[in-house]
Amino acid sequence: MNKVAVVGSTGYVGGELVRLLSQHPMVDVAVVTSNSYKGQAYEDVYPHFKKNIDLVCEDELKEDYDVIFLALPHSHSSKWVNRERLKNSKIIDLGADYRLSYDVYKNWYTVEHESKDLIDEAVYGLSEWQREKIKDASLIANPGCYVTASLLTLLPLLKENAVDKDNIIIDAKTGVTGAGRSLSLGTHYTEVNENVKAYNLYKHRHKPEIDEIILKLTDVETNVLFTPHLVPMNRGILATIYLDIKKGMTQEKVREVYEKYYSQEKFIRLLADGEYAQTRWVKGSNYCDISFQVNEDYNKLICVTAIDNILKGAAGQAVQNMNIAMGFKEELGLQMIPLFPV
């Protein structure tokens, strides 16, 4: 049995990692860490783990593990990861520290990167597009949640030159878990309930991640217009993406593009014409639902994509990456049907 560790186990994403890994047939959750809850039983922090997880939160790792998951805020992982640890463990970082090039990271996150020599060695863990590189990776940078929904939608279209690269508008909405578990006025019940708000216009840190990875995977340079919104629900992301299609592209041809890349993908579901993705049908799962509608008269395409932000957008994709990197079946531990009602 492969031993895994979850560093930062008491945030929402850390909790989902522990839940998924504790039911995985090929791994054993050997240790969970948390600075905030050091010395407390994990089942006391999250009572839904009673009779399932018999671990106490530690403040640090005292040995090496086959796989280490880092569910930490940005800048923390870059201080923790080093070549010595990478010799003995595969590390999957769910933060931002290894997703971007050094200059872009420093500019957008305004902190110094403590292990910048490892950035170029990290593999960007968009599972469906980086599978071959993930297989041999020791350091995997798990994508952001907004970015996962956006990239899975955009990459086939840009790769096949089906849309105009210079006019991409992403209107995305997330549940409150996307803000993490730490206390913040902006995520208090009375601040969020009965309200929808846009935030970080022109300066959200997932915007440069989208552009950089598109360029890396398609050789297409973009400057997407990305607007995130917070909506009063616990989990889920809905991304509505507006595009100008190339002349001659039809509903059928757009479907052919998506089928070319995703027809054999376990976790991507292409919806039927006239059916549009909803967050309720992916919650609690590792699925990404993609839907689209072409307007040939105006050469326009609207795509609507839904994921669970803390599963396919975080913990689920991290386990998917572990499965690929460890040579397991890719769907192991992730075969849950979405929860409904929730």
Domain ranges of the chain: 2-143+312-326, 146-309
All residues at 6 or more sequence positions from 142 whose CB lies less than 8 Å from its CB, including other chains = 92, 93, 94, 125, 314, 317, 318, 321
Do the domains 146-309 and 2-143+312-326 match in fold?
Answer: no
Q: Output the pLDDT for position 184.
A: 75
Q: Which residues are catalytic?
A: 145
> What is the tens place of the pLDDT at every residue in 302-333?
999 999 999 999 999 999 999 999 999 999 99
Q: Output the pLDDT for position 183.
A: 65
94 has pLDDT over 80: yes
Alpha-carbon span 7 to 115, nearest angstrom: 18
CATH classification of 146-309 is 3.40.80.10, yes or no?
A: no
Q: Are strands 139-141 and 123-124 parallel, antiparallel or unpaired?
A: parallel
Q: How far is CA 143 from CA 61, 93, 96, 162, 212, in A?
A: 24, 9, 8, 24, 12
> What is the tens place of the pLDDT at every residue in 154-197?
999 999 999 999 999 999 999 988 777 776 777 778 887 899 99
Alpha-carbon span 206 to 151, nearest angstrom: 11
Report the SS3 class of residue 192. helix
CATH topology of domain 2-143+312-326: Rossmann fold (3.40.50)
All residues at 6 or more sequence positions from 83 whose CB lies less than 8 Å from its CB, including other chains = 118
